[in-house]
């Protein structure tokens, strides 16, 4: 994978998703998915791929099937009690933990979703959807959205879903064309925060965790992701003028963002609703509504990626590399020059 700057990676999302849509459709036409047509499916991933696993499991349950998300280490020695088939998520296909647990799951139907098809995880599972998301930054942009796209299309194929995924790249293109001004205002509101909370429900909850990772990685600000209703049971009490909030959603998330902003905490609401007005400490980003939870979730996280791009630039951290280098998390040799 070619490593590129963060803002450049975000700006190529429409192109990346269209390439991915075609690649995933071709893969689905050639794969034997008979092992995934009944029983519970376990979605496993680590880092950003765990957040994608949460989204995949939610989307499968929404489609009437049993699905569960796992961090790979939860499955060590416990495969038999987990699911009847597994979808392994790793954009690089090199994450050590997911490779370890898929080796333990060799008696079960397994399928990997990766950026490409030539990697250790694909070899272990014997079946792979190569999402072909292409160039990305170290703080995953196209890799995460490409994984969500592949999951949405996979779940639709095994459950009989009929969403037209060809709508998505055009909607992303419109968001990228029209949304930078709103993203810039949101970034200015969130500048200098001591910490930032992100809340959402369903796939919005998965995106909240991914947003927290992006803010930590790209802007080096402590951030946490929360389920919307769980957030009401105490976690929001720490919010004040020194902190920030991002809310994804159209329901209870709207009031959370409005209430927190009224209390003095700079807040950002990303929503499909068109009737919510911005306020002194509240920025509102309106995104297209495609009527599909996974597709709408992709638009949601891209809006957040745009905000993070402006935050990174404003903090003087444009295209930074990670400070903490982990030499034991990938199967490939560690390189001191890798982003």
How does pLDDT run across 256-285, given as a tens digit for each residue? 999 999 999 999 999 999 999 999 999 999
Regarding pTM above 0.75, the answer is yes
At 326 the pLDDT is 76
CB atoms within 10 A of CB 43: 28
Q: What is the pLDDT of residue 334?
A: 53
Q: Give the Cα-Cα-Cα angle 200, 299, 339 (nearest 5 degrees).
A: 90
Contact partners, residue 320, CB within 8 Å, separation at least 6: 218, 220, 312
- Report helix, strand and coil shares of the chain as percent, to nearest 5: 50, 15, 35
Of the candidates 252, 261, 251, 199, the one whose C-alpha atom is nearest the C-alpha of residue 227 is 199
Please name each of the domains of the chain with its CATH number. 6-159 (3.40.50.10490), 167-314 (3.40.50.10490)
Helices and strands (H and E) in the chain: how many:
12, 10
Q: What is the pLDDT of residues 4-42, one digit of tens each?
A: 899 999 999 999 999 999 999 999 999 999 999 999 999
Answer yes or no: are the C-beta atoms of 134 and 19 closer than 8 Å.
Answer: yes
SS3 31: coil
What tens digit of pLDDT does each residue of 286-332 get? 999 999 999 999 999 999 999 999 999 999 999 888 887 777 778 87
Sheet-wide strand order for 282-286:
223-227, 196-200, 244-248, 267-271, 282-286
Percent of all residues in the chain with a pLDDT value above 90, rounded to a whole number: 88
pLDDT of 1 above 90: no
Rounded Cα gap, residues 151 and 157, in angstroms: 10
Residue 155: band (very low, low, confident or very high) from pLDDT cuts 50, 70, 90:
very high
Res 54 pLDDT > 50 = yes
């Amino acid at each position: 994978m070619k490593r590129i700057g963060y803002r450049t990676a975000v700006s190529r999302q429409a192109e990346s998703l269209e390439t991915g849509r075609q690649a995933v459709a071709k893969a689905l036409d050639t794969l034997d998915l008979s092992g995934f047509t009944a029983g519970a499916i376990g979605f496993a991933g680590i880092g950003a791929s765990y957040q994608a696993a949460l989204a995949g499991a939610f989307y499968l349950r929404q489609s009437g099937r049993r699905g569960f998300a796992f961090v790979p280490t939860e499955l060590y020695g416990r495969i038999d009690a987990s699911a009847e088939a597994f979808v392994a998520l790793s954009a690089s296909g090199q994450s050590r933990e997911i490779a370890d647990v898929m080796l333990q799951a060799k008696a079960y139907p397994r399928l990997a979703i990766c950026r490409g098809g030539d990697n250790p995880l694909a070899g272990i599972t014997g079946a792979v959807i190569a999402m072909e998301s292409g160039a990305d930054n170290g703080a995953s942009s196209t890799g995460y959205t490409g994984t969500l796209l592949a999951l949405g299309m996979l779940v639709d194929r095994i459950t009989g879903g009929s969403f037209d995924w060809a709508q998505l790249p055009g909607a992303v293109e419109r968001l990228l064309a029209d949304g930078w001004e709103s993203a810039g205002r949101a970034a200015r509101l969130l500048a200098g925060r001591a910490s930032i909370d992100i809340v959402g429900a369903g796939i919005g909850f998965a995106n909240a965790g991914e947003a927290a990772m992006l803010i930590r990685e790209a802007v080096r600000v402590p951030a946490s992701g929360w389920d919307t209703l769980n957030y009401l049971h105490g976690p929001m009490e720490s919010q004040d003028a020194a902190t920030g909030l991002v809310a994804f959603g159209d329901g209870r998330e709207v009031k959370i963002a409005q209430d927190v902003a009224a209390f003095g905490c700079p807040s950002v609401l990303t929503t499909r609703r068109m009737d919510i007005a911005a306020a002194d400490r509240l920025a509102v980003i309106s995104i297209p509504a495609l009527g599909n939870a996974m597709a709408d979730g992709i638009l949601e996280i891209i809006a957040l990626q745009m905000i993070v791009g402006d935050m990174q630039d404003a903090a003087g951290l444009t295209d930074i590399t990670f400070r903490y280098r982990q030499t034991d998390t990938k199967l490939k040799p560690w390189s001191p020059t890798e982003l």
